[in-house]
Amino acid sequence: MASRWAEALEASGFDAVVVAAGRPRFYQFDDLAPFFRPNPHFTLWFPEKHCEGAVLLFTPGSAPALYFHSPADYWHQPAQAPDWAAERFELRSFEETEDLEIAVAKALRAHRRVACIGEDPPESWAVEANPAPLIHRLHYQRACKTGFEIACLEQATENGVKGHIAAREAYRANGSEFDILRAFLAGSGQTEADLPYPCIIGRNEHAAVLHYQHYDRTPPADDHGFLIDAGASHLGYGSDISRTWPGGDAAAFAELIAALDEQQRALIETIRPGLNYLDLHLAMHRRIAELLNRFELVRCSGDAAYELGLSRTFMPHGLGHLLGVQTHDVGGWQTTPEGGETPPPDAHATLRLTRTIGVGMVFTIEPGLYFIPMLLSRLRQEAGAREVNWPQVETMTPWGGVRIEDNVLVMEGGARNLTREAFAALDST
């Protein structure tokens, strides 16, 4: 991390950088705040979540200095720098924010040009806040993970898979969405504050709401199927995993899930450094279009369904995104370290990743096939509607949809599927 940042600082003309963890922000007209999330750039250096108000100063060639805020507070347990921090940083702890800021200002006097990554740096620091040339370089390089980051993502995946196995059992015992949420949290060893993103837990047609955010307290009367998209974190790094399980009364849905699962794995087999992620996304659309034909959702061939854009109604999101200290990790469209972006084509505007695939990248592969009433009624107004087998679509609409999402690491010869590896190790069924 230090050598990466040194390179980015040199290329953008800074001799040091201050990174501020940030502070919780209160709800409007309130004295309570949502769970604190540190500035992700701070997490890259200090992967612990209890670091409110801390500041890191990095000067290439020296050990980074950590100014830790440990206030005198009898309402909360004050954050404490962990033991390991003293081995990695020039560590100083402060009770008062003002003293911390003065100490940083003093240290900065020795420098010529300093950048600050964070919100509202004090004027006394005389820093340039969030300079675009530096931010662009830092965001660009984050796509390819260090060995430490890969180890964190492996552990986050393992924790998430444990949660998924517990959630599946809760579903099979006819738990409500709320019961399943609790099973996921317990299985993955997390509180809600630990989650990388809110769990998406949808039974039946709730699976058609891509980021479904409610948790019904009672199980539905009919059991068609269940979609869960939930991840776990480890030292600030998060996994992002989806599975879909067929219901007791929908044998045909089980076939659709198995078919999408097979296509997802086959696509992952094709991943190689040097390919473009957009091409993977388009290749997945061709596979989805073939499934539309195979499951008689369209009357035309798979090729014709693809050319007519029908697959976009059934899979209206991107194939995946970079993964790291943020679930949708930054830099997915950034195709140069200087900040140049390549957005996806208009017809695929929701795709978050358009970069050339490189060794060390970690991203998701998350194809889906959904029956979304809003998008289906739009399609009914379009020319492609005549190729759709509407009675078949209506039969399947109560199933909601399927999403299968794995986290993969790009290697020289192909991709490692971190999620499947963890399921193979942990799932005895």
Least Å from the CB of residue 321 to Mn ion: 6
Least Å from the CB of residue 298 to ligand GLY: 26
* Segment 346 to 365, residues that bind Mn ion, using CB under 5 A: 364
Least Å from the CB of residue 425 to ligand GLY: 23
Yes or no: say if 405 and 240 are a contact pair by the CB < 8 Å rule.
yes
Token pair 């898979």 in the structure block, residue: 161
Residue 406 touches which of ligand GLY, Mn ion, none (CB < 5 to 8 A by kind)? none
Yes or no: say if 163 and 181 are a contact pair by the CB < 8 Å rule.
no
Q: Which among 407, 356, 394 is positioned nearest to 149, based on CA atoms? A: 407
Give residues in contact with ligand GLY (CB under 6 A). 197, 229, 240, 321, 327, 366, 405
Strand partners, 234: 237
Please select the residue that binds Mn ion; options are 154, 158, 177, 229, rule is CB under 5 A.
229
Comparison of 387 and 406: residue with beta carbon closer to ligand GLY: 406
Least Å from the CB of residue 366 to ligand GLY: 6
Residue 197 touches which of ligand GLY, Mn ion, none (CB < 5 to 8 A by kind)? ligand GLY
Strand partners, 410: 415
Least Å from the CB of residue 403 to ligand GLY: 8
Handedness of CA 22, 241, 207, 290 (dihedral sign): positive
Residue nearest to ligand GLY (CB): 229
Q: Which among 134, 141, 180, 186 is positioned nearest to 159, based on CA atoms? A: 186
Comparison of 229 and 290: residue with beta carbon closer to ligand GLY: 229
Tokens of 178: 């709320």
Contacts of 143 (CB under 8 A, 6+ apart): 322, 329, 331, 332, 355, 358, 360, 361
Comparison of 104 and 372: residue with beta carbon closer to Mn ion: 372
Residue 154 touches which of ligand GLY, Mn ion, none (CB < 5 to 8 A by kind)? none
Comparison of 89 and 184: residue with beta carbon closer to ligand GLY: 184
Summary count for the chain: helices (H), strands (E): 14, 16
What residues make contact with Mn ion under the rule CB under 5 A? Answer: 229, 240, 364, 405
